[in-house]
Homo-oligomer: A and B are copies of this chain.
Amino acid sequence: MFDQLFHYLNNGHGLSPDQFEVVREFFTLRRLKRKDFLLRQGKICRHMYFVNSGCLRLFTTNTEGQEMTRYFAFEDKFGTALTSFINQEPSFEFMQSVTESEVLEIRQEDYYRLVDEIPEFSSSYRNMLEQAYMTSQQRIYGFQGYSALERLKWLMANHPKILSKLSSRVIASYLGVTQYTLSRLKSEL
């Protein structure tokens, strides 16, 4: 249950087994069904999640109600509505389980307490921020100035998991095209 998290913090950031004994106490297991929400727009995000299995999706809706997906968190990734989590302000994003998932949950106060008290945990937060930032950059540059077909090819090259595991509707909302366009694009590949 905690193996993956231990591996992540120990291998990745040098957290010792003793330190992990402290850390693990703050995490609780949650099993999610397909389409379960972890957070709805307008609510304050009070938890960080570590994905043991399955996949979480972060998305929002525009004025016409179309969904726009920003990020998928697969196994062994931390994921949360980070802006709301940091500022403890109402979230612009929804967070939803795409498939059946198993996640570890930690409360925001506890998370930041660990960041402040354990240098190795702090380093994992810093690393998460750096990664989250760099992923966003790739996203901006991978999309702006490119056609829908180029974006699809970019996704195939950079995030094949997304294409192989998720539904077309969800992929389309990530690519910023309609489901119709995505369907047509596939035949052009």
Contacts and interface: CB of A to CB of B under 8 A. Distances in A.
Interface in A168-183: 176
Nearest to A137: B83
A187 to B, nearest CB: 23
Interface string A99-136: 00000000000000000000000000110011011101
Contact of A141 (B60, B66, B129): B60
Contacts of A132: 133
A156 interface: no
Nearest to A134: B83
A141 B125 CA distance: 23
Nearest to A143: B144
Given A70-B140, A83-B137, A137-B83, A62 B145 contact: yes
A86 B134 CA distance: 10
Which of A68, A70, A136, A137 has the most B CB atoms < 10 Å from its CB? A137
Contacts of A145: 62, 66, 68, 176
A92 to B, nearest CB: 7
A70 B141 CA distance: 8
Interface string A139-158: 11101111000000000000
Contacts of A140: 70, 136, 139-140
Interface of A: 60, 62, 66, 68, 70, 82-83, 86, 92, 125-126, 129-130, 132-134, 136-137, 139-141, 143-146, 176
12 contacts: A60-B141, A66-B145, A68-B145, A70-B140, A82-B133, A83-B137, A92-B141, A126-B126, A129-B129, A129-B130, A136-B137, A145-B176
